[in-house]
């Protein structure tokens, strides 16, 4: 199999330098139809907050968009709204693809036609696939667009993927990055080690999706053995549903992390001061007490309070906030000042984003 065309040099440099990539939510009306005005406003928010890209059609967008004929319309709206940013700066447009090989390839082809740069290949929805099946699917998709591998946590439909899998994925020429989101330090380490085992390991950027430990992932140096000897690998950025809210704050956090890596001790202390608070806030938004049942609705609730959405509706009528989740979101909003700062930023720009 041949690989797709590589990323443009400036886009590849941004991906490997590290950036903030929110996982784009889905704006719905009370009738659970696409709210195009607010869907566009969300993308405008991420652009002005300083995000380096968006990921659309992923878990936070709701995998069920495929069952409601919304996959292409939602990708198209984000592509249109980000077109001006792409013309003036590097900006990563990433599409989530899912399902069997044929479906994933068709979705990747749609993304390419709309101007997307890469695809995030989800392991969800293929409970009986072997590891070789997953690798073959990534290779097929990689003929269409560059691939970002995805370790999806088991609580929301993922599966265990061993060290050998990640080495084999990194060996594929089309693989440009991986997102680690197993919410498990042991499995995260296996992913890092597996990527390092590959001769192409240095060409694969590491992105955290571990919403429970974002700051720790970003600050941790991973000392690994590679085919050419010892090396240090780092998570350079995040592709996160958690960063679909408080995105401007996330941009500032990542700037501090990068400065800390360059030796700025004050920046390191600012980042460390966010470590426990970010985990606490995520526990509320992602409904850890409710075993993640309200994970999508929790993201929607924060955006609703800020005026970006008008409700917490999900495509599945049974999906909503868990008992006590709204009160937990109240608590963390009061506890951590950066959440209120984000509210002020959004309030000042919201009329323009909704225009």
Show the domain range for 181.
9-268
Q: Domains in the chain: how many in total?
A: 1
Q: Is residue 4 in a domain?
A: no
The pLDDT tens digits for 23-73 are 999 999 999 999 999 999 999 999 999 999 999 999 999 999 999 999 999
Q: Is residue 174 in a domain?
A: yes
Q: Is residue 18 in a domain?
A: yes
Q: Is residue 288 in a domain?
A: no
pLDDT tens digit at each of 355 positions of the chain: 577 789 999 999 999 999 999 999 999 999 999 999 999 999 999 999 999 999 999 999 999 999 999 999 999 999 999 998 888 899 999 999 999 999 999 999 999 999 999 999 988 778 889 999 999 999 999 999 999 999 988 877 778 899 999 999 999 999 999 999 999 999 999 999 999 999 999 999 999 999 999 999 999 999 999 999 999 999 999 999 999 999 999 999 999 999 999 999 999 999 999 999 999 999 999 999 999 999 999 999 999 999 999 999 999 999 999 999 999 999 999 999 988 899 999 999 999 999 9
pLDDT of residue 1: 56
What is the 3-class SS of the chain, one letter each residue?
Answer: CCCCCCCCHHHHHHHHHCCEEEECCCCECCCCCECHHHHHHHHHHHHHHCCCEEEECCHHHCHHHHHHCCHHHHHHHHHHHHHHHHHHCCCEEEEEECCCHHHHHHHHHHHHHCCCCEEEECCCCCCCCCHHHHHHHHHHHCCCCCEEEEEECHHHCCCCCCHHHHHHHHHCCCEEEEEEECCCHHHHHHHHHHHHHCCCHHHCEEEECCHHHHHHHHHCCEEEEECCEEEEECEEEEEECHHHCCHHHHHHHHHHHHHHHCCCHHHHHHHHCCHHHHHHHHHHHCCCCCCCCCHHHHHHHHHHHCCCCCCCCCCCCCCCCCCCHHHHHHHHHHHCHHHHHHHHHHHHHHHHHHC
Q: Is residue 133 in a domain?
A: yes
Q: Is residue 47 in a domain?
A: yes
Q: Is residue 330 in a domain?
A: no
CATH of the domain at 243: 3.20.20.70
pTM over 0.85: yes
Q: Is residue 45 in a domain?
A: yes
């Amino acid at each position: 199999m041949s690989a797709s065309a590589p990323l443009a040099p400036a886009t590849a440099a941004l991906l490997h330098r590290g950036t903030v990539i929110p996982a784009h939510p889905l704006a719905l009306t009370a009738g659970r139809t696409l709210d195009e005005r607010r869907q566009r406003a969300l993308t405008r928010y991420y652009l002005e907050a300083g995000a380096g890209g968006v990921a659309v059609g992923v878990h936070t967008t709701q995998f069920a968009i495929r069952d409601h004929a919304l996959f292409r319309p939602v990708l198209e709206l984000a592509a249109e709204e980000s077109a001006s940013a792409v013309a003036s700066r590097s900006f990563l447009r990433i599409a989530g693809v899912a399902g069997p090989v044929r479906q994933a390839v068709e979705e990747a082809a749609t993304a390419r036609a709309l101007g997307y740069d890469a695809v995030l290949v989800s392991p969800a929805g293929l409970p009986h696939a072997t590891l070789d099946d997953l690798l073959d699917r990534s290779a097929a998709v990689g003929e269409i667009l560059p691939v970002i591998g995805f370790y999806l946590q088991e609580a929301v439909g993922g599966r265990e993927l061993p060290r050998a899998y990640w080495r084999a994925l990194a060996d594929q020429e089309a693989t440009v990055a991986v997102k680690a989101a197993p919410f498990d330090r042991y499995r995260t380490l296996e992913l890092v080690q597996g990527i390092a085992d590959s001769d192409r390991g240095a060409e694969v950027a590491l992105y955290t999706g571990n919403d429970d430990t974002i700051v720790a992932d970003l600050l941790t140096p991973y000392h690994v053995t590679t085919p050419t000897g010892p090396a240090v690998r780092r998570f350079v950025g995040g592709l996160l549903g958690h960063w679909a809210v408080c995105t401007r704050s996330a941009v500032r956090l990542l700037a501090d992390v990068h400065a800390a890596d360059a030796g700025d001790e004050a920046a390191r202390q600012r980042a460390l001061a966010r470590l426990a608070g970010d985990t606490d806030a995520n526990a509320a938004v992602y409904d850890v007490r409710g075993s993640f049942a309200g994970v999508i609705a929790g993201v929607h609730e924060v955006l609703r309070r800020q005026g970006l959405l008008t409700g917490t509706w999900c495509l599945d009528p049974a999906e909503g906030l868990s008992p006590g989740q709204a009160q937990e979101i109240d608590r963390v909003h009061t506890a951590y000042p950066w959440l209120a700062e984000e509210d002020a930023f959004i309030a000042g720009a919201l009329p323009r984003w909704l225009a």
